[in-house]
Structure 1
Amino acid sequence: MTHSCQDSKPDTLLGRIMPSGVHLVCGLPMVARQRQKVVPFASGDVVEIGFGSGLNLPHYDRSLVRKVIGINPDDGLPRLARRAIAQQDIPAELLVESAEAMSLSSHCADSVVVTYSLCSIPNVAAALSEAHRVLKPFGRLYFCEHGRSETHHVSRLQDVLTPPWRWMASGCHLNRDVGGLIQAAGFELERYDIYDLGFGSRIIGTHHVGVARRG
C-alpha cells in the first residue's frame, strides 16, 4: 500500500502506469473501510498529507470541515486529485509540494490527516515535524497507515523484505514504527490501534490507526 504520489514525470511506462495502479489499490473497499475509521473525525481547516488521488474526500464530514488543503508531490497523482476535487462538494485545494517542507504558515490547521503515506515519504520525521508545525495548539493528527508488526518474527521479516519492496513499490517501507515516529515528532497519542487487516499477510497488512494531539 502506498503513497503520497505525483504528476509530471510519467515519461516511462512505469511512470504512466503507477498513478493509476496506486489509485486502484488504495481505492479497494477494504482500504476504504480503514479510512472511514479516522477521516470523518477531522474538523475545521484540514491539511491532508499525501493527498494522492483524493480518495479521502468522500469520507470527510462536510458539517465539520471548513476546507481541505491537500499536499502531494509531483508524482502523477495530482492529475487524478484535481479531477476528484472537481467532483466533490467539499471546499478543497491541492498544493503540489513535499510534505517535508510545506509552504503553509505555522498554526494554520485544526486537523492534519495522513493515510497510507508515511510508509513512502523519504524523510518521514521531517514530514511529521511539519505536520506538528502547521497544527494549531491542541490540534489533532488523524492517521491510518500500514507498518511494523508487533510480532517479532514478522517484524524481522519486514526488515529483510523492505529494501526490495521499496524498489518495487516506489519507496514504500514495510517496517516503519508509526506510533513511535509520531511520538518522536512531539505528538501525544490519544487513540492508537495496531491490527492485522486480515487479508492473509501481516507483512503488508499490519495497520496503525489512531489520533494524536499536538501539545
Structure 2
Amino acid sequence: MIAQLYETHVLPHLIGCACGAPQIMKQRARLIPEARGRVLEIGFGSGTNLGFYDPSRVSEIVALEPSEGMRRKAAPAIAQSPVSISWRAETAEAAALEPDSFDTLVLTYTACTIPDPDQALAALRRALKPGGQLLFCEHGLAPDEGVARWQRRIEPVWKPLAGGCRLTRDPAAMIARAGFSITRMEADYLPKTPKIAGYTVRGAASR
C-alpha cells in the first residue's frame, strides 16, 4: 500500500522536478524542435517536452506512458498543447505499434527505466517509417571508471527510489544494438549535476 501511494502520488512529483531541472531543460530545448510529422514519445511523463515541439512541424504526438500518476500530472500541459495528443497507457515493450507508422521517435531520460530496453527499442525501430528519425537524450554509464564504480554501488538503492531508473545502462550501445544507425551524437557531463546521474548522450538515429 505504501509503495503504491509512493509510486502514484509522490514519485511523479519527484521525477517531474528532477527531469525539469534547468540543465536538463536546455538539452530538451536543443533536441525536441527537430521532431516532425507523426511523433511517438516514449515515457511521456508529465509532458516536460511539450513546450519545445514546433506545431508547424508536428501533426500529432502519441504519448506512451504507463504510469497513471504521470498521466494525471501531464493533464494540465496537454490541455494547453497546440499539438494534437493521444494517450497510450502501455509500456514500450507491450505497445501494439503499427509498422512504419511514425516519422519521429522521442526518447528523453526514459531508457533508464524501461524494464526490457532491447525488446522495446526493437519494437520502436519497426514502428519508425523509412527515413524517420529517433531523437534521444539519455543519461547512463559514465566513461570514467571512478564514476562508474560509484554508479554500480549506488544503483541498487537508487533504482527503487527513482522509479526503476538504472544508472549503469549505456544508451548509445542499446540504440545501436536495436539496429538503429546513430547519425550524430554528443556526450558530456551535465553541469551542476552529480556525475553519477549526469553523464548524458544526445543526438539522432535512423533505421
TM range (shorter): over 0.9
For structure 2, the 5+ residue unaligned runs are: none
Percent identity, aligned pairs only, is: 38
Instruction: Specify which of 64, 67, 71 is matched with residue 71 of structure 1.
Output: 64
1:201 Cα deviation (Å)? 2.2
C-alpha contact 2:7 2:163 (8 A) present in aligned 1: no
| Pair 1:75–1:163, CA change in 2 (3 A) | farther
| Pair 1:119–1:47, CA change in 2 (3 A) | same
In structure 2, the residue matched to 1:181 is 174
| Pair 1:210 & 2:196 matched | no
Q: Which moved more, 1:100-109 or 1:19-28?
A: 19-28
TM-score by length of 1: 0.90
Secondary structure, counterpart of 1:78 in structure 2: helix
1:84 Cα deviation (Å)? 1.4
| Pair 1:54 & 2:40 matched | no
C-alpha contact 1:191 1:211 (8 A) present in aligned 2: yes
Number of aligned residue pairs: 206
Secondary structure, counterpart of 2:206 in structure 1: strand
Instruction: Specify which of 117, 127, 131 is matched with residue 134 of structure 1.
Output: 127
C-alpha contact 1:119 1:146 (8 A) present in aligned 2: yes
Instruction: Specify which of 112, 135, 142 is matched with residue 149 of structure 1.
Output: 142
Name the structure where helix makes up a greater proportion of residues: 2
**In 2, Cα distance between equivalents of 1:75 and 1:150:** 35
Secondary structure, counterpart of 2:97 in structure 1: coil
Secondary structure, counterpart of 1:77 in structure 2: helix
In structure 2, the residue matched to 1:102 is 95
C-alpha contact 2:97 2:123 (8 A) present in aligned 1: no
1:89 Cα deviation (Å)? 1.0
TM-score by length of 2: 0.94
Q: Which moved more, 1:47-56 or 1:76-85?
A: 76-85
1:203 Cα deviation (Å)? 0.9
**In 2, Cα distance between equivalents of 1:88 and 1:200:** 30
In structure 1, the residue matched to 2:112 is 119
**In 2, Cα distance between equivalents of 1:45 and 1:193:** 25
C-alpha contact 1:10 1:16 (8 A) present in aligned 2: no
**In 1, Cα distance between equivalents of 2:49 and 2:180:** 23
Q: Which moved more, 1:165-174 or 1:22-31?
A: 22-31
1:71 Cα deviation (Å)? 0.2
AA aligned opposite 1:36: A
Please identify runs of 4+ aligned residues in structure 1 that moved more than 4 A: none
1:108 Cα deviation (Å)? 0.3
1:182 Cα deviation (Å)? 0.2
In structure 1, the residue matched to 2:163 is 170
CA RMSD of aligned residues (A): 1.6
**In 1, Cα distance between equivalents of 2:161 and 2:11:** 11
AA aligned opposite 1:65: V
C-alpha contact 2:23 2:191 (8 A) present in aligned 1: no
AA aligned opposite 2:201: H
